[in-house]
Structure 1
């Protein structure tokens, strides 16, 4: 039995015991929601005891369709690659081996080398060793190749490019790490939450790719389900930071573990709630068809101009965020 299944069973036992004691189902429901369980999972676990008073309310017109986000046709344009889902009800977590070729990985590493700088965090927790990697934002690198990788990720994800941040490279040398954290912005942090969600909204999916294989260490460990993925060149690790109802999922907590030998280089692309135009490639069939035409489309000058146009707003937002981060860092140093 995996740690995730064991954890689910513990909660099921707790739930059964309290229902048997005739505890208020609404109160039990709320406790489980506060501990990261989605409404869908709780409904299955509670069965007939699920309280009708917490039935899902209709979504207001114009809001994000989180259920559609949770059911995006991931990998529909790449049926040749083995998409694997980690077996747990606690979060949506996938791997996709050989997503990028060795040549693509090495090219991105080379492009990033001259732009690397110490990584930052959205807010300080007082631990100077919380994140010790180096980062390169491709927001300032106007390379057609980078645009091709952006498009490749978006099409594989099934979500259009305008609903995402520009890709970011992180490099970890021996001893460097990124301690356990979430990718979503916590609504429990007023001010910071509004600052970083801005026009683009909350982070939805994370699409991370290992650009090299690390000899030892450097794994990505999902702490709440005790699952670790080790760097393998070209492999993507993909997860939904939200529940199907749009609530941030605390079970996505993950730790970029210290590198013990060699280095680790990754790219990360975060998708967001808001963008321009439709969020999805309409149907899996459309995604597959567009994926088949990606190579020729991305090589055309017209496509490059379109990609730059789509990303212009995202680049502006990223520059604004970085400027705010630098300002906060200077303020902390003065204290």
Structure 2
């Protein structure tokens, strides 16, 4: 929480404003429960009254879906860095499914967009396909398997997207979570809440370039057909994890096609997926 918001909190606590109302305002501005509690405590609000509007979100449970609790069951390997939750599954989709989805995507591509609406030209130069809006059985099958493999209720997920990158195209360094206390958060978070997990699948082998480079971890992952890369954009406290910043590096040779599905920190029903654990194939 920046100095301006901290001063706002201190000023309104000193004025005698209702603590629960201040909590709700800070939550709508995108701050996590731990940040709100800390700000109210620093401002001198009674500790007994510092429960926040995010209290119903069990971020610890969200950080431990079945993929995390039992990665071996779905063939997942954690990346050896305790600062982030980042997993790989080498053979999540077979070649036939990858090729079929790429054929679907090629017929429905549109220029990719960004949620902030203010980034400079060239920041994101790929094309996007709204796979989740198609009434296609293969897309539905893959969509269900993503949720089952991760272990989070599919109703907590956004509509699945596909992206295609030609030579020279990229998505410069960015985070998948919505930046708290910004117009972006106010516009896109809403009742669905913050983005939590990202599940990305590479649909083809890219001969050169196209890596997903985590800029603050100095780790790069190269497109390999059928492999999946999964990470949690949040910390167990619910605060965004800035170490998940990543750069879709420019394609140097060939193309890069991927599937991306984002999950939120809340949704209808229980968080845990009730459909069972997905299988590879």
Contact 1:184 1:202 in 2 (8 A): yes
Match of 1:174 in 2: 167
- State the distance in 2 between where 1:141 and 1:89 align: 38
User: What residue in structure 2 maps to residue 249 of structure 1?
Assistant: 241
Residue 80 of structure 1 deviates from its aligned partner by 5.9
TM-score, normalized by length of structure 1?
0.65
Q: Does 1:267 align with 2:255?
A: no
RMSD: 2.4
Distance in 2, Cα, partners of 1:132 & 1:60: 38
Aligned to 1:205: 197
Aligned equivalent of 1:30: none
Structure 1 equivalent of residue 123 of structure 2: 130
Instruction: Assess, with a 3 A threshold, how the Cα gap between structure 1 residues 142 and 77 changes in structure 2: closer, same or farther.
Output: farther
The number of aligned residues is: 234
Please report how far the alpha carbon of residue 86 of structure 1 lies from its aligned counterpart in structure 2 after TM superposition: 1.1
Which deviations, in whole Å up to 9, do the C-alpha atoms of 1:43-69 show, x marking residues without a partner? xxxxxxxxxxx9xx8777861100001
Q: Distance in 1 between matches of 2:158 and 2:105?
A: 17
From the two aligned structures, give the one with the greater helix fraction.
1
Give the distance between the partners of 2:54 and 2:127, measured in 1 at CA.
42
Runs (5+) with no aligned partner, structure 1: 1-38, 40-53, 296-335
1:209–1:61 Cα change, 3 Å = closer
Q: Determine the C-alpha separation between the residues in 1 that align with 2:79 and 2:66.
A: 16
Cα 1:182/1:158, change in 2 over 3 Å: same
1:229 equivalent to 2:221? Answer yes
In the aligned structure 2, how far is the partner of 1:65 from the partner of 1:216? 41
1:83 aligns with 2:76: yes
Tell me the CA shift for residue 77 of structure 1: 8.4
Give 1:279's aligned residue: 271
Match of 2:143 among 150, 160, 163: 150
1:141 to 111, 124, 134: 134
**C-alpha distance in 2 between matches for 1:120 and 1:60:** 31
Does the 8 Å CA contact 1:185/1:202 hold for their aligned counterparts? yes
Q: Which residue number corresponds to residue 95 of structure 1?
A: 88
Counterpart secondary structure, 1:110:
helix
Over 3 Å counting, the alpha-carbon distance change for 1:261 and 1:195 in structure 2 is same
Give structure 2 stretches of 5+ with no counterpart. 1-33, 35-46
User: Is 1:69 equivalent to 2:62 in the alignment?
Assistant: yes
Runs of 4+ that moved beyond 4 A = 57-62, 75-81
- Deviation string 1:140-197 (CA, Å, 9 cap, x unpaired) is 31112111111000000100110000110000000000000000000131x3211100
Q: Distance in 2 between matches of 1:273 and 1:185?
A: 12
> Structure 1: how far apart are the matches of 2:51 and 2:87?
29
8 A Cα contact 1:76 1:158, kept in partner = no
